[in-house]
Amino acid sequence: MRCLIHLLFGSLAAATARAASGAVWATPHESYSSSVGVLGCKVDTNRIAYWPASVDCNNICVRLSYEGRSVHLLRIDQSEGAHDVSYDAWNYLVTGYSAREKPTTGGAIAMEYEDADPSACASLIHTDGNKLPLSAANSMNYLASCLSQDSWVGKNYVLYNILDPVCSWGNDEICTLDWPTANQVVANGSQTSAGAATINPPLNLSEKSGSRTWRTNMVRVAAMSSFGTAVVSVLDTLDTPLRMNTRSYDDWPNSSSLSRCSADQSPARFVP
């Protein structure tokens, strides 16, 4: 019986090891996104994996290889079924060149992958200490799940007062979370009249030309004289509807007294 148990555990361990590597049909992906709210303005958007499995709290780095070439990718978005990777990464693996130098087109190509230690993706994260940059407004469900376990993300994250993964609205300021004592995140520093911080949105590379485009659906407002002016200017330029926290905006435009960095999914805002 003891031998049988050892065999069963040995088989499970082997299956787990096999699950951490293998072959995938990799396809190019042009437009940055993150289902868990990782901020594209603070990571290398040319090295992202958009894969079917839900985003993990530990295995967020993967090594993808093809014909002797390899890249490390941040796995911070969940696709609907395809093993998409950033177009520039896919182009390099296929041709040996960046998409900016020699762009090519194509579809799914069989490539080898293996999970890598998060430290292997440290250079792809552009924050102090290479901590994973998360949106204080839209990452709390993911972060709470990571904080509830002994995880890499739970120990290596930083929250910003930025609404969305493409960094099109918010303040480039760090928020703090006193977990598990409190479930409310707070922006560091006090409100000033200097206007909202300018945040550079992530760049996308066109698959056909390798040209770069800003990944944003809003016109940026760098500074406004009043909170109301900033909000109206942004909302008037939306190409698609913006999800809002109705409780926070019930008094608009009569009141501009809105909480900042709320953990209940209320959006980050321009703060003049």
Tally of residues, the chain = 272
pLDDT of residue 204: 54
Instruction: With a cut of 80, say whether residue 196 has pLDDT above it.
Output: no
**Per-residue H/E/C for 129-191:** HHCEEEECCCCHHHHHHHHCCCCHHHHCEEEEEECCCCCCCEEEEEEEECCCCCCCEEECCCC
Quick: pLDDT tens for 28-57. Answer: 998 999 999 999 999 999 999 999 999 999
CATH number of 20-123: 2.40.40.10
Mean pLDDT, the chain, whole residue set: 71
Higher-confidence residue: 152 or 247?
A: 152
pLDDT band for position 197 (50/70/90)?
Answer: very low
Token representation of residue 28: 């190019």
Instruction: With a cut of 80, say whether residue 229 has pLDDT above it.
Output: no
pLDDT band for position 152 (50/70/90)?
Answer: very high
What is the rounded CA–CA span in Å between residue 81 and residue 8?
Answer: 31
Token representation of residue 33: 């996104």
pLDDT of residue 188: 59
Where is average pLDDT lowest: 94-103, 188-197, 209-218, 219-228? Answer: 219-228
Higher-confidence residue: 212 or 173?
A: 173
pLDDT band for position 180 (50/70/90)?
Answer: confident
Instruction: With a cut of 90, say whether residue 208 has pLDDT above it.
Output: no
Instruction: With a cut of 90, say whether residue 213 has pLDDT above it.
Output: no
Quick: pLDDT tens for 68-113. Answer: 999 999 999 999 889 999 999 999 999 999 999 999 998 999 999 9
Instruction: With a cut of 70, say whether residue 170 has pLDDT above it.
Output: yes
Higher-confidence residue: 3 or 107?
A: 107
Number of helical H runs and strand E runs in the chain? 6, 12
Torsion, CA 110, CA 32, CA 160, CA 162, rounded to 10: -160
Instruction: With a cut of 80, say whether residue 200 has pLDDT above it.
Output: no
What average pLDDT does the segment 201-230 reach?
A: 37
pLDDT of residue 176: 87
Who's near 266: CB < 8 A, 6+ residues apart?
137, 245, 247, 248, 258, 259
Higher-confidence residue: 177 or 143?
A: 143
Q: Is the pTM of this model over 0.85?
A: no
What is the rounded CA–CA span in Å between residue 46 and residue 32?
Answer: 9
CATH 2.40.40.10 in the chain, residues? 20-123
pLDDT of residue 184: 62
Instruction: With a cut of 80, say whether residue 260 has pLDDT above it.
Output: no
What average pLDDT does the segment 115-140 reach?
A: 96
